[in-house]
Amino acid sequence: MTTSNKSERVPSDKVNSRVERSRHTVLTTAFELLSEGGVASFTVDEVARRSGVAKTTIYRHWPTREALVMDACSRMIAEQETPDTGSLEGDVTAILVEIAHLLPTANWSFVLPSIVDTAERNPEFAEIHSRIQRGHAAPLREVLQRAVGRGELSVDADVSTIVAALLGPLFYRRWFSREPIDDQFVKAIIKRVLASL
Amino acid sequence: MTTSNKSERVPSDKVNSRVERSRHTVLTTAFELLSEGGVASFTVDEVARRSGVAKTTIYRHWPTREALVMDACSRMIAEQETPDTGSLEGDVTAILVEIAHLLPTANWSFVLPSIVDTAERNPEFAEIHSRIQRGHAAPLREVLQRAVGRGELSVDADVSTIVAALLGPLFYRRWFSREPIDDQFVKAIIKRVLASL
DNA sequence: ATTAAACGCTACGATACCGTATCGTATCAT
DNA sequence: ATGATACGATACGGTATCGTAGCGTTTAAT
Nearest-angstrom CA–CA distance, B77 and A65: 35
Q: pLDDT category, B159, cuts 50, 70, 90?
A: very high
Give contacts of B195 with chain A, Cβ < 8 Å: 195-196
Give me the CATH code for the A13-74 domain, please: 1.10.10.60
Nearest-CA distance B62 → chain A (Å): 23
Look at A169 and B173 and tell me if their CB atoms are within 8 Å: no
- pLDDT for residue A18: 77
Looking at residue B78, its pLDDT comes to 82
Q: What is the pLDDT of residue B6?
A: 35
For position A184, what pLDDT does the model report? Answer: 97
Tens of pLDDT, residue by residue over B28-48, are 999 999 999 999 999 999 999
pLDDT, greater one: B189 or B195: B189
Nearest chain A residue to B129, by CA: A176
CB-based contact, A3 to chain B, within 8 Å: no
Of residues A76 and B92, more confidence is placed in B92
> Residues at the strand D interface (CB under 7 A)?
A 1, 8, 12, 14-15, 17-18, 41-46, 55-56, 59, 63-66; B 11, 15, 18-19, 21-22, 52-57, 60-61
- Helical spans, DSSP H, in chain B: 13-37, 44-51, 55-61, 65-73, 88-102, 108-119, 123-149, 159-171, 183-195
- Mean pLDDT, range B149-173, rounded to an integer: 97
Q: State pLDDT tens for residues B43-63.
A: 999 999 999 999 999 999 999
Residue A89 near chain B (CB below 8 Å): no
Q: How far is the CA of B15 from the C1' of D5 (A)?
A: 9
d(CA A25, CA A72): 11
Distance between the alpha carbon (CA) of A102 and the C1' atom of D2, Å: 70
Whether the CB of B6 is below 8 Å from some CB of chain A: the reply is: no
For the stretch A73-86, pLDDT in tens is 998 888 889 999 99
| Mean pLDDT of the residues in chain B | 91
Q: Write out the DSSP string of B128-180.
A: HHHHHHHHHHHHHHHHHHHHHHTTSS-TT--HHHHHHHHHHHHHIIIIIS---
Q: Is the pLDDT of residue B194 over 70?
A: yes
At residue A16, the pLDDT reads: 67
- State which CATH number among 1.10.357.10, 3.10.20.30, 1.10.3720.10, 3.30.70.980 fits the domain covering B13-75: 1.10.357.10
Return chain B residues 18..57 having CB < 7 Å to nucleic acid strand C: 18, 41-46, 55-56
* Interface contact A38, partner B, CB < 8 A: yes
CA distance B118 to chain A (A): 8
Q: Round to whole Å and give the CA distance between A51 and A25.
A: 6
Q: How far apart are CA B47 and CA B41, in angstroms?
A: 11
* DSSP alpha helix (H) spans, A38-64: 44-51, 55-61
Mean pLDDT of all residues in B104-133:
96
Chain A residues with beta carbon closer than 8 angstroms to that of B193: 165, 192
Residue B77's pLDDT band, with cuts at 50, 70 and 90, is confident
Residue B108 has pLDDT above 80, yes or no: yes
Q: What is the structure's pLDDT at A12?
A: 45
Per-state percent for chain A, helix, strand, coil, to nearest 5:
70, 0, 30
| Per-residue pLDDT at B148 | 96
Pick one of 3.40.50.12280, 3.40.50.2300, 1.10.357.10, 3.40.50.720 as the CATH number of A78-195: 1.10.357.10
**Positions on chain D within 7 A of a protein C-beta:** 5-11, 16-22, 27-30
C28 nearest neighbour residue (CA to C1'): B15
Listed as ranges, residues in chain A with pLDDT below 70 are 1-16
Q: Where are the domains of chain A?
A: 13-74, 78-195
Same topology between domain B13-75 and domain B77-195: yes
Topology of the domain covering B77-195: Tetracycline Repressor; domain 2 (1.10.357)
Q: What are phi and psi of A8, to 5 degrees?
A: -55, 125
Residues A93 and A106: their CA atoms lie apart, in Å, by 19
Could you give the angle at the alpha carbon of B107 between the alpha carbons of B104 and B113, nearest 5°?
80
Identify the pLDDT of residue A3. 37
Q: In this predicted model, what pLDDT tens digit does every residue of B163-187 receive, in sequence order?
A: 999 999 999 999 999 999 999 999 9
Interface test with A, best of B103, B192, B194, B197 (most A CBs within 10 A): B192
pLDDT over 70 at B95, yes or no: yes
- Measure, in angstroms, how far nucleotide C21 C1' is from residue B22 CA: 22
